[in-house]
Structure 1
Amino acid sequence: MARPRSFDEQQVLNAVRDQFWDAGYAATSLEDLMRVSGLGKGSLYAAFGDKRQLFLRALRAYTDDNHRRLREALAEAPRALDALRMLLEAPVDDSGGMRRGCLLANSTSELGNADPEVLDHAHRAYETSTKLIGDCVARAQREGDLPAEADPIELARALLAAQQGLVFMSRTGLDTATLTATARSLAARLLPDHSGA
């Protein structure tokens, strides 16, 4: 009989995700994966497959978690306009956590030209994010805070591009005050309050 697994699968996925996130795919070795997971090669490959399969699984889990958190954050805000502004301010992080950038964007930059599966995953992930943000834009329009004639998907793409730009700028070491001012400037231009309040 096969022995039951004696490790926490989610913990292992989180550890290897962080390794890929910090070092990138190419610079992460099998030894790195064994070190951070605490598993031997046989156990690691038996549970998750080879390095590429493990990376794709960690990337999908990261994306699923991001979409879950985005969905919750957009839905929980009392007004949709506040949620959209929060989206732009999210990359501004005093703790330095965003200095790592976005694992999906990092991975797409590194592997997108060489790995069609990574590129396809990134495309679908950004389309999902755009749809979630677009739904929030439509809500802000219904609440009277954004002009009704604006195309929700076009504005959502602009907001996502702005947010990803801020994430990238944070990776360059730009100071928090400058990032905050940039985020507020983007919010003022992309999300002017039309409620008259």
Structure 2
Amino acid sequence: MARPRAFDEKQVLDAVREQFWDGGYAATSTEDLMRVSGLGKGSLYAAFGSKRQLFLRALHSYTDDAHGHLRKALAEAPRAVDALRMLLEAPIGEGARRGCLMANSTSELGNADPEVLRHAHRTYETSTTLIADCVTRAQREGDVPAGADPITLARALLAAQQGIVFMSRTGLDTATLTSTARSLAAQLLPDHSGG
């Protein structure tokens, strides 16, 4: 009879996700994973498979969480255009220098690992759809021109946001990043309210 697992799977996944996020895939050793998870090698790999399988599970949990946060942030803003502007400033602040785990992983592994590349594509398509839905709401609210294509604008906003993420990794100061994000917002989401 198999013994029940004596650890919290989500807690372990969160811990290894943080390790991969800080160190990257290649630089993260089995010893690092054992240290942050508190599990021995046998238990870790019996539960999650290989280092690559564990990484993919952690990456999927990251993108699931990120999409949950994005959905909530876009839906809860009183006006959709404010949510879209906030999207550009979201990568600024404490912890921003870590970048985005999905973008970091795609840069590190995308050319060598087709599964990571496929997951990145699905992730950005899901993000684009969520943002496009918010653009459509902003159009209904009269803050974005009705003739704008929601998908095209969503892709432009996502590309701008990822540019801010990258710039934050270079060590640019918060004031410069904020000014850049606001300039992008003014160009991509000009004020059409007449106010």
| Distance in 1 of aligned mates of 2:17 and 2:114 | 20
Deviations 1:139-196 (A, max 9, x none): 1001000111110000000000000000110000000000010011011000012121
| Corresponding letter in the other structure for 2:191 | D
Gaps in structure 2 of 5+ consecutive residues? none
1:105 is aligned, of 84, 103, 106, to 103
Deviations 1:7-37 (A, max 9, x none): 1111100110011001100011111100110
Query: What displacement does 1:115 show?
Result: 0.4
**Pairing of 1:168-183 with structure 2 (within 5 A):** 168-183=166-181
| Distance in 1 of aligned mates of 2:81 and 2:191 | 8
| Corresponding letter in the other structure for 1:101 | G
**Pairing of 1:1-197 with structure 2 (within 5 A):** 1-93=1-93, 95=94, 97-197=95-195
In structure 2, the residue corresponding to 1:60 is in which secondary structure? Answer: helix
| Corresponding letter in the other structure for 1:61 | S
| Corresponding letter in the other structure for 2:121 | H
In structure 2, the residue corresponding to 1:185 is in which secondary structure? Answer: helix
In structure 2, the residue corresponding to 1:71 is in which secondary structure? Answer: helix
| Distance in 2 of aligned mates of 1:109 and 1:184 | 26
In structure 1, the residue corresponding to 2:155 is in which secondary structure? Answer: helix
Q: TM-score, normalised by structure 2?
A: 0.99
Q: How many correspondences in the alignment?
A: 195
Query: What displacement does 1:41 show?
Result: 0.6
| Distance in 2 of aligned mates of 1:152 and 1:59 | 28
| Distance in 2 of aligned mates of 1:92 and 1:31 | 32
Query: What displacement does 1:125 show?
Result: 0.4
| Distance in 1 of aligned mates of 2:194 and 2:46 | 60
| Corresponding letter in the other structure for 1:16 | V
Query: What displacement does 1:98 show?
Result: 1.1
| Distance in 2 of aligned mates of 1:79 and 1:90 | 16
Give the root-mean-square deviation of aligned CA atoms. 0.6
Query: What displacement does 1:2 show?
Result: 1.4
